Structures are given as structure tokens and as C-alpha cells.
Amino acid sequence: MSTAVRRTALTTAEVYALPAMPTLVPEAAAAVGVSRDTAYELASRDDFVVPVVRIGRSLKVRRSDLLAFLGLPQEGEAENS
């Protein structure tokens, strides 16, 4: 029987591969290493680590905000430095 290992946070490459507006859960929550419940709770109190945008019934964040929070350069920024 194989035991799957649950990874909490996304790798840097996985964060860069996110769409421009990833969903709060599971994408943004995984990027910052919090559970779905914690992400929803923080978003409901306007305390998630980056601004949350409601689009219809969907909660999304900006990938650029996630990159800034994680201290990662925006794509193209590293080559220009």
C-alpha cells in the first residue's frame, strides 16, 4: 500500500505556473501553505495575506500579489536586474 505525502506549500515553479488570477482555494492557499479552511476564514475577515477578489461566487487573488508576498520577482524582473 502506497502512502501519499501531502505537501503543504507549492514550489516556486508551481507558483510561477499559476494563472494570473488563481483561485483562493486550492491554489493561493497552497502557495502560502495554509489549509482551505484557514484560507476561507482569513478571507472572510479580510485578513488573507494578499487582497482577495470576488468574481461572482469565486474568490481569486492576483498572482503578482502572491509573488510579492512570497518575495519572488515578477516574471521578467530577474533577467532585468
**What pLDDT shows up at residue 25?**
95
**What pLDDT shows up at residue 79?**
53
Model pTM above 0.85: no
**What pLDDT shows up at residue 80?**
52
Contacts 24+ apart (CB under 8 A), 45-54: 48/24, 52/24, 53/21
| pLDDT < 70: residue spans in the chain | 1-8, 77-81
**What pLDDT shows up at residue 35?**
93
Residue ranges in 8-72 assigned as alpha helix (H): 12-16, 29-32, 36-44, 63-70
Q: How far apart are the first and last CA of the chain?
A: 48
**What pLDDT shows up at residue 75?**
78
**What pLDDT shows up at residue 77?**
67
Alpha-carbon span 51 to 66, nearest angstrom: 9
